[in-house]
Structure 1
Amino acid sequence: MLSTPGIGSGLDVNGIVSKLMSVERRPLVVLDAKEAKQQTQLTAFGTLKGALSSFQSSLSALKSPANFSAITAKLTDTSLASVSANSSAVTGSHDVEIQTLAQSQKLKSGNFASSNTSIGSGTLTIQFGTYDSGTFTLNPEKAAQAIIISPANSSLAGIRDAINQSDAGISASIINDGSGDRLVIASKDTGLSNALKITTSDDDGNNIDNSGLSQFAYDATIGGTANLSETVAANNATMVIDGIPISKASNKITDAIDGVTFNLLKADLGTTTTLNITRNTAGIEKSISSFVKAYNDLNQTITDLSKYNAETKKASILTGDFTVRSLQNQLRNALSDPLKTAGGGLSILSEVGVSFQGDGSLKLDSSKLSEVVNDPSKDIATLFASVGKTSDSLVSFVSAKSDTVNGKYLLDINQIATQGTATGSAPSALTITSGINDTLDLTINGTAASITLGAGNYSADSLAAEIQSKINGKSAFSSKDINVTVTQSAGILTMTSNQYGSSSSVEITGGNGELSLFGTATETIGIDVAGTINGINATGSGQTLTGAGDSNGLVLQIKGGSTGSRGTIDFAHGFAAKLDQVINKMLDGKLINNRIDGINAKIDDINSQRETLSRRLGDVEKRIRAQFSALDTMIASMTQTSNFLQQQLSRLPTIGNS
């Protein structure tokens, strides 16, 4: 049944109900306004968290001590070499003369009709070392490499390709000199200690004749077979620094001056140029300037969100908010409280030209900053980064945690870290015979592998070099950065692990050469450094010592020295580190998150009130509509009765006349 309210009575029922309900809905409008305000505050706190995160990102350049130790190295004549320096370099100037560049040895074969000429199959064994007066001394850092030449790749081109695919530390090419093709073999590494000794295992049964694969044999020792001829001699780079002769295997020299790397480009014998090593003060000043700008950007965001405009008498969305005031106070306190144990001669920001202005922003005095940065008696790193200054040169600060407490710590060492070793019980045999005493089974730092030594007669030094070379070249070890140093004293061999601490060990577990080379070896496991920081036992691992208590997270490296008192460590979190901690607590802690949770709770409560009110309004509208519908029906009925009576009354005169 279809009905239209008011059609019978003429009342505008829908209009009346709508107007009445608009009055009833006024509490909803109030709730909407309250929610809009809460949403605006929620957005404001989101903006505030974003500004804090941006400012925190700007602190990264100031938190690390290394960024304040940046060093610039420059050579007057840049055509001779490119130079760079790290934080360990010491500022100053040096006279430099580059006399020769390092070269890699190159060897050539005889002429062959073409690259397709069949040569022969077998094995090429490549060794690296130094030739001196007809003797060859192995390079202990480079293991011998075997290259198998199968019958399928026994042509001149095939041998070239097999060499280049072997990753054996040499390269090969074919050069036509007009009368035929020659194979040229070159060591990939420069330097006297990377000269080549090439021996063959020729499938034709003769390893030294000038036929088959043995045409590529090269041994320049007295009595050796040299079927290849040298075209370029292995040579070291030589230079003179401040009157001191320097000889290095590579044109990249990293250990001539501490912290400085040379990449030699050209030799100029007899000409001296100047190397200047200076601090990168411009980079430090730029980082601090960026820090000031970033803080001011944060301060402006906070001001915009919380200011009160006295002229317009309008407040911002977070004006008077306790959380914002607390946040501002924490930031300003972190920037204002002096450092007490920094140890770098600086304790407050104003000493480097950074000071507060009346509006809460920071101002930078660039000239004052530049003066301090260039003052060698001041360590500006301690003002910003988390830094520990040690009084013992063999003790170095590694790192700290955010909860490491600022302070001066006393260091006592009762045990120095050692390396694992294995020492023979008697002089080693110096003749290695294949299948008789040429293998060793080893477990180094927990990793096991076996090596095979080259057969031959050795001196004690050359045998030590051969063993070291084979161990350090073994992929099972090198892939885990495990290596050893092998030395000899009166013919007795000692192997020492490169690692320090209780995980450092060298075990000779077998092999046919164990007894003849080491006898009954004495094997000693390394020990960890041990000691106390401020009287509290610290945790040692290798050469590193990690504090506990107030020094929790303070990590030091003890590079030898004696046991007993080892001086002090002045540790402090600089201003950048302090601010980073403060902001972490603001972003991850309760200060802002509780406020945001409170706002969200209010929004949820408003939504709950809205739902309740909406249900009530629905009931109210039903009731009002029902009442007016009833009135509409009643009025319609009365109207109908009225119309009927009028019709009847209008007929009364007619009835009388009848």
Structure 2
Amino acid sequence: MPTSTTSAIQSSTASSILTSLNGANAIDWNTLAANLAVAQFANRTDRLAFRSDTLDQQISSAGNLKSSLLALSTSLGDRVRSGDLSPQPSLSNSAVARPVLSGSTTPRGTYSLEVTQLAKAQTLAGPALATGASPVGSGTLTLRFGTVSGASFAEDTGHAAVDITIAAGATLADVAAAINGANAGVSAYVANTTAGARLVMKGQEGAGNGFVLEASEDPADPGLAQLAWQPASGDPARLLTASADAAYLLDGLPMAATGNTVNEAIPGLNLTLTATNIGAPATLTFADNTAAITTAMQDLTAALNEIAGQVKTATDPIGGDLARDGGALALKRAMSQLSGTVIMPNAAANAPRTLADLGVSIQRDGTFLLDGARLAATLKADPNGVAAMFTNGLHGVYGTIDALNRKMSSSADASSLAASIARYTSQKGKVTTDLSGLADKQEALRVQLVSRFATTQTAVAASTSTLSFLKSQIDAWNSSKN
């Protein structure tokens, strides 16, 4: 119990009361009432104020720990997602494709890539009209999807046809807008060519994304049929580009893709094909990431030590703001077990599975130490296994730190820092309410005392007046006798 503060308040109040009573001329009743009211509630006010300060310190300390853990998780996650810790891909002919790590796993080795065909989207042009404002008739246009090959069309029945209503009075520009508004995977615009305005339609990449256009025109408002197109009966010149799949050879093996972006072309790598290189395969390799991982482990160890220092101070049995806090103690336990925790449960036999395998150990004082020699040995013995620990997934270095951060940030978990902060914040709110209530009671007492003292002051004034009258009379009597 903080009696020193209470004693100081009581001493100050008592001094004020004495000053009020011992004034040279008269009693200061208002000041006396205020000081008496303060003295009445001093003990309870001091206790609540001390509790409020303690809760503020606990909220701040728990919040700092939570923020530090979040900062570590975010920083590590950004580093992993940037690919800095994975072996970076390099293509001998950069014009052929753009390789990007997917993060699903860590690719290694050398591959050959020969792109023989880029994926294409069908482009279809309509007949030339005078202007984009030319009327085209009304009715319904129907898009059907499938494979266009020469004069034949094989419809993909799994891809639903799309009907597009064209209102009376519609222009070529209106038709383009209606096609775009259908969101059918076909875009349209009006091209003002030297021959006139033409409706241009573009589908999506891939041989199976070809399309034909059917028209059912209103007999009373004809003209829409001129936009229809079928490979068997339509003008071949209107098919500006036929849809096609991408084709490439990976390590000499024929591959195909419906688009030029090929996800997981090899495990852990996405490719965006940009040009062909028939007969001149490009070589795909991956740069060594040993230095980046070593630096990352040094930074991780330093960050863990910073958090460990905060935890040690906060949970100090003597003077620690969170000495008995469940969330802080849970974090302390989790960090003490971090080095030996299996973070790669699905790793192959003899592959690195823990932070200890990467050279991280925990000292008696709770700090972390990185054994550079052990890290280097693990990197040399199993570079793929180490790289796999730095991917963006549930397991691994980032996954483990992120899981700990999520646990400490979940207010639904009673043993988390978030739950501690919520609990302290709730208690702080109650203390604030209680302090406000005491202030109201103190003010009510002050007003009551002022009222009572006003009555007393009136009575004293009357007594003083009577005393003065009697004294004057006595003085007068004494004078007459003389």
The two structures have a TM-score, normalised by structure 2, of 0.65
Tell me which residue corresponds to 1:645: 474
CA distance in 2, matches of 1:219, 1:138: 12
User: Given the alignment of the two structures, is residue 577 of structure 1 paired with residue 403 of structure 2, yes or no?
Assistant: yes
- Structure 1 segment 233-632 matched on structure 2, within 5 A: 233-254=242-263, 256-276=265-285, 289=299, 293=303, 296=306, 299-300=309-310, 303=313, 319=319, 323-324=323-324, 328-337=328-337, 338-339=340-341, 343=345, 344=347, 349-354=355-360, 375-378=383-386, 387=395, 574=400, 576-578=402-404, 580-581=406-407, 584-586=413-415
Contact between 1:13 and 1:628, CA under 8 Å: does it hold in 2?
no
What is the aligned residue count? 438
CA distance in 1, matches of 2:133, 2:403: 68
- Give the C-alpha shift of residue 199 in structure 1: 4.8
Alignment pair present for 1:225 and 2:242:
no
Q: Deviations over 1:176-206 (max 9, x none)?
A: 33xx33636444223433444445556779x
Q: 1:68 to 1:365 in 2, by over 3 A?
A: farther
- Give CA-to-partner distance per residue, 1:575-632, whole Å, 9 cap, x none: 6535643564245898677777777777777777887788788888888887887677
Cα distance between partner residues in 1 of 2:436 and 2:180: 75
Mark the runs of 5 or more structure 2 residues left unpaired by the alignment. Answer: 1-22
Deviation at 1:41, TM superposition (A): 1.0
The superposition leaves residues 340-398 of structure 1 with CA deviations (integer Å, 9 ceiling, x where unpaired) of 6963566765544555578755566788668767743358759998659xxxxxxxxxx
Matched, 1:91 2:107: yes
Equivalents in 2 of 1:607, 1:176: separation in Å?
79
SS of equivalent residue, structure 1 residue 253: strand
Instruction: Mark the CA change 1:295 to 1:33 in structure 2 (over 3 Å): closer, same or farther.
Output: farther
CA distance in 1, matches of 2:167, 2:29: 104
What whole-Å deviation, never above 9, does each CA across 1:277-301 have from its counterpart, x for those lacking one?
Answer: 5798859975994696377258448
Q: 1:126 to 1:648 in 2, by over 3 A?
A: closer
Cα distance in 1 for residues equivalent to 2:188 and 2:332 = 64
- Residue 51 of structure 2 aligns with which residue? 38
Match for residue 171 of structure 1? 188
Change (3 A) 1:324 1:299: farther
Q: Is the 8 A contact 2:343 2:400 kept in 1?
A: no
Aligned partner of residue 99 in structure 2, secondary structure:
strand
- 2:208 corresponds to: 193
Post-superposition shift, 1:44?
0.9
In structure 2, C-alpha distance between the alignment counterparts of 1:185 and 1:32, rounded to whole Å: 80
One-letter amino acid matched to 2:98: S
CA contact (8 A) 1:335 1:575 kept: no
SS in 1 for 2:414: helix
CA contact (8 A) 1:385 1:577 kept: no
> Is residue 308–residue 366 contact of structure 2 (8 Å, CA) maintained in 1?
no
Give 1:14 deviation, angstroms. 0.9
Say whether residues 1:138 and 2:155 are aligned partners.
Answer: yes
Could you give the per-residue CA deviations for residues 109-130 of structure 1, whole angstroms, max 9, x where no partner exists?
Answer: 6666666777766655443333
Q: CA deviation at 1:324?
A: 4.4
Distance between the aligned counterparts of 2:392 and 2:281, measured in 1?
A: 40
Q: Pick one of 79, 87, 105 that aligns with 2:95.
A: 79
Query: Paired residue for 1:48, among 20, 43, 61?
Result: 61
Alignment check: 8 A CA contact 1:173 1:185 kept: yes
SS of residue paired to 1:40: helix
How much does 1:25 deviate?
A: 5.7
**Pair 651,332 (structure 1): closer, same or farther in 2 beyond 3 Å:** same
Taking only the aligned residue pairs, the percentage that are identical comes to 20
Q: Which amino acid aligns with 1:645?
A: I
Q: Residues 68 and 380 of structure 1 are in contact (CA less than 8 Å); yes or no, is this contact kept in structure 2?
A: no
Q: In 1, are the aligned partners of 2:101 and 2:269 still within 8 Å (CA)? A: yes
| Closer/same/farther in 2, CA of residues 361 and 40 from structure 1, 3 Å limit | farther
TM-score by length of 1: 0.51
Distance 1:215 1:323, change over 3 A: same
Secondary structure, counterpart of 2:144 in structure 1: strand
Higher strand content, 1 or 2? 1
- 1:592–1:370 distance in 2 versus 1, CA, 3 Å: farther
Q: Cα offset for 1:268?
A: 3.5
Unmatched tracts of structure 1, length 5 or more: 1-9, 206-210, 309-317, 389-572, 654-658
Taking a change above 3 Å as real, the CA distance of residues 217 and 359 of structure 1, as seen in their structure-2 partners, is same
**Cα distance between partner residues in 1 of 2:183 and 2:74:** 41
Which of 159, 164, 169 is the aligned partner of 1:152?
A: 169
Give the residue type in structure 1 aligned to 2:95. S
Q: Identify, as 1 or 2, the structure richer in helix.
A: 2
| Alpha carbons of structure 1 residues 603 and 197: separation in structure 2 relative to 1, 3 Å | closer
Contact persistence 2:73–2:401 (CA under 8 A)? no
DSSP 3-state at the match of 2:60: helix
Distance 2:276 2:336 in 1: 55
**Residues of 1 paired with 2:129 and 2:439: CA distance?**
97
The match for 1:100 is 117
Contact 1:59–1:291 (Cα < 8 Å) also in 2: no
Compute the displacement of 1:91 (Å): 0.5
Q: CA offsets, 1:534-566, max 9 Å, x none?
A: xxxxxxxxxxxxxxxxxxxxxxxxxxxxxxxxx
1: CA distance between counterparts of 2:116 and 2:41?
Answer: 90
